[in-house]
Amino acid sequence: MPEGAALERAWEALERGEPRRALGALAARIPAALACERDFLTAEAWRAMGYFAKAEALYRRVLSRADAGRDLRADSAMALAAICRSLGRVSPARAFLRQARNILGKNPARENRKRLEIEGALIDRAQGLYPQSLRRFKVLLSAFAAEKDFASAAFILWAMGGARRFSGDLRGALADFKASLGFARKAADKTAEAYAFLGLGGAARVAGQPADSEMYYGRAARLLSGTQDVFGQAYAECGLANALRQKGDYARAGRRYERAHRLYASLGDAVDLAYVDWGLGQVAFHLGNPDEARRRFETALSAFEKAGEARGAVISLTALAAALHSVGRTDAAEALFRRALRESRRAKIHAHLEALT
């Protein structure tokens, strides 16, 4: 077998959306001279499934290797920026993005310029700079639409929908996610279609449309069930649980939350796991178990604060305030609610108003 044949099979598997098959190919004996590429491809496979901690360690290894090629080092730096941004670690995300720019030099290829600009806009969004991120997304969207790059346009509209949702523009968010869905279908990209449905499910839920939310999350779950995207599957399960909880179907919601909890735990995703704990707390609270609810809300709050996740911290504070008030601890509840209000205003978000989150 030619040296590097396993790497070629891994590249092909990743292009087909089969990261587990890529990992299988990479288990073969690979020459030491190709170790950097092997590590990079292994990281890509883990990241595609949502295992960010495993991917991050390998990308860092590639980035630290003096013998790694420029493209591998730049791609690793950009991947690390994306991982940090996804986990709410904005400062390191910006640092890795600067490193990628430095590696690529003053005049990077057009494709790399686009990637750098997209990641920069996504980091702005992660930092809560919604108007700034939307301005950057609109420029990118115009370029992708003009080029008939439907897959990229679908992604940008999905990102725009999230920025609008978290800045309080629910009508705009729904419109963006629907437009994203249209472009995803033009691109015949089932994963992009699924994520558009995930966006629609979240925006519809916060807008007080739980039946629509359940429908959208259900469609996303069906599309993702045939993929190896563990993160997406967990996202869909948690979303379905939220919609069912909002409809008052607490038993089914609890089962969906438990499935999401197992998936997020397998990924080591502390922030999204905290959202599931918050949801399980809501189920316990509405089923008349304030002690269990309080335990879950406190667990969620601790994780959100550790990660610097402002929205999660605010909804946990307001939920914990309600749980304390329900058992007569009104002074403590009032103090928590005031704290939630301060945090919302500081972060310029509206989570304290999301009774239907």
What pLDDT score was predicted for residue 293? 97
What does the pLDDT look like over 249-294, one tens digit per residue?
999 999 999 999 999 999 989 999 999 999 999 999 999 999 999 9
For the chain, give the mean pLDDT: 94
Q: What would the 3-class secondary structure string for 247-279 be?
A: HCCHHHHHHHHHHHHHHHHHHCCHHHHHHHHHH
Question: In the predicted model, is pLDDT for residue 59 greater than 80?
Answer: yes
What pLDDT score was predicted for residue 1? 44
What pLDDT score was predicted for residue 3? 55
CA gap 20, 26 in Å, rounded: 10
Tokens 């509405």 sit on residue: 286
- Local structure of 26: helix, strand or coil: helix
Q: Which of the 8 DSSP states describes residue 351?
A: G
CA gap 47, 269 in Å, rounded: 12
What does the pLDDT look like over 1-26, one tens digit per residue?
455 789 999 999 999 999 999 999 99
- Residues 6 or more apart whose CB falls under 8 angstroms from that of 50 comprise 229, 230, 231, 232, 234, 267, 269
Single-letter amino acid, residue 304: F
pTM beyond 0.85: yes
pLDDT > 70: what percent of the chain? 98
Residue range 288-308: mean pLDDT, rounded = 95
Question: Which candidate, 133, 62, 196, 191, places its Cα nearest to that of 78?
Answer: 62
Evaluate whether 317 touches 339 at the Cβ level (below 8 Å).
yes
Burial of 299 (0-12, 13-18, 19+ CB in 10 A): middle
Residue range 301-324: mean pLDDT, rounded = 93
Per-residue confidence band for 144, with pLDDT thresholds at 50, 70 and 90: very high
